[in-house]
Amino acid sequence: MEFISYLVNGLGLGSVYAIIALGYTMVYGIAKMLNFAHGDVIMIGAYISFFALMNFGLPIIPATLLAIICCTILGVVIEKLAYKPLRQASSLAVLITAIGVSYFLQNGAQLLWTSATKVYPSAMPSGSLTLGGFSISWLTLITIGVCLLIMAVLTTFINKTKTGRAMRACSEDKGAAILMGINVNFIISVTFAIGSGLAAIASVLLCSTYPSVFPTLGAMPGIKAFTAAVFGGIGSIPGAFLGGLLLGIIEILAKAYISTQLSDAIVFAVLIVVLLIKPTGLLGRKLSEKV
């Protein structure tokens, strides 16, 4: 019984990681870059939804929508200003720029809102659903539900719409996609927009579970979700989903049964082991070089 409730909690945390990891993996798949500033977009989303809830007194859904809109715009603007000029540059140059953007967002937030931790209001339905012998909190259920919904919508979008097809084409071969008349710049913008919007949703779910808001809030979930994306095979959308869920479960189980302090070490150790067995992640594709 205890095990099952840990498992469900793990799924809840994993769902948040999965939503963030989707942003990493989509950007990687299409722009071939590690967007280290993604975690800080989560932080911005957290502050915006915090002010919407506390200062404007908005209910949770409009507050989330506001956060989504702001983060989407932020994501697109970051891409246009900082990453687009570096399309031809080395991946290291882009990585360093992303780190610069990350510092900028963290320090900007600190200037605007100070480094003091703010307590996130509980706007989600409280209480829990009791089924048979054990209970699951509504928050966990909502988190898992939102994650499944996002996964379903995203999969449909990628597979069924014209833009989705263009995205897949770009991730396969950007040069060929341009020749087919696909506007690659537009597709990259769309990718950043979707990724950042998802980060906003993740921020609301994350802060409802761990209710504190501070400027470096996004760093650790960002690294964990990045790990989840690699775990599942970076560039693969189902991989990010699977990687996120597994990472959440491993983290919660490690905390429950091994040691709270060592849970991070265990998560990263599992990642290393997985990559040794499957060097491109669980669902990643094998790369081969033509000679």
Partner 1 sequence: MKSNKNILSVLLNKRHKGRTISYTLVVAAWIILTVLQRGGHVSSLIAGLLVPITCYMVAALGLNLNVGISGELNLGQAGFMSVGAFTAVCISGYLAASIPAAPLRLAIALIGGAFVAVIFGLVIGIPVLKLQGDYLAIVTLAFGQIIKSIITNMYLGFDENGFQFSFVQNTTELAPGGKMLLNGPMGATGTQRIATFTAGVILVLIALMIIYNLIWSKSGRAIMAARDNRIAAELSGINITNTKMLSFVVSAGLAGAAGALYGLNYSTLVPNKFDFNTSILILVYVVLGGLGNMNGTMIATVVLVLLPELLRSLQDYRMLIYAVVLIVIMLITNNEHLKTWFKSIRSKQADSRKEAA
Give me the residues that bind partner 1 (CB under 8 A), please: 28, 34, 36, 82, 85-86, 88-90, 92-93, 95-97, 99-101, 103-104, 107-108, 110-111, 219, 223, 226-227, 230, 234, 259, 261-262, 264-265, 268-269, 271-272, 275-276, 279-281, 287, 289, 291
Q: Sort 190 into a burial class: Cβ within 10 Å, 0-12 / 13-18 / 19+.
A: buried
> Which position has the token pair 């948040």?
16
**Min dist. Cβ of residue 64 to partner 1 (A):** 28
**Min dist. Cβ of residue 192 to partner 1 (A):** 16
Q: Dihedral, CA atoms, 195, 201, 207, 213, nearest 10 degrees? A: 60
Can you say whether residue 118 is alpha, beta or left, with left for phi > 0 and alpha for psi between -120 and 50 degrees? beta
**Min dist. Cβ of residue 155 to partner 1 (A):** 24
> Which position has the token pair 């706007």?
123
**Min dist. Cβ of residue 146 to partner 1 (A):** 27
Q: Which is nearer to partner 1, 88 or 126 (CB)?
A: 88
Q: Which is nearer to partner 1, 92 or 116 (CB)?
A: 92
**Min dist. Cβ of residue 131 to partner 1 (A):** 35
Pairwise CA distance, residues 254 & 42, whole Å: 25
Q: Which is nearer to partner 1, 132 or 175 (CB)?
A: 175
Pairwise CA distance, residues 276 & 127, whole Å: 42
Q: Are 204 and 49 in contact (CB under 8 A)?
A: yes
**Min dist. Cβ of residue 270 to partner 1 (A):** 9
Q: Which is nearer to partner 1, 197 or 281 (CB)?
A: 281
Alpha-carbon distances, residue 22 vs 55, 154, 188, 250, 269 (angstroms): 30, 10, 15, 19, 22
Q: Which is nearer to partner 1, 45 or 235 (CB)?
A: 235
Quote the tokens at residue 70. 């702001």
Q: Which is nearer to partner 1, 182 or 247 (CB)?
A: 247
Residue 86 CA, chain-centre distance (Å), reads 23
Count of other CB atoms within 10 angstroms of residue 88: 6
> Which position has the token pair 């991730």?
171
**Min dist. Cβ of residue 151 to partner 1 (A):** 23
Q: Which is nearer to partner 1, 179 or 272 (CB)?
A: 272
Q: Which is nearer to partner 1, 2 or 289 (CB)?
A: 289
Q: Of 68, 106, 83, nearest to 27 (Cα)?
A: 83
Q: Of 218, 225, 200, 209, nearest to 150 (Cα)?
A: 200
**Min dist. Cβ of residue 74 to partner 1 (A):** 15
Q: What's at 157, amino acid-wise? A: F
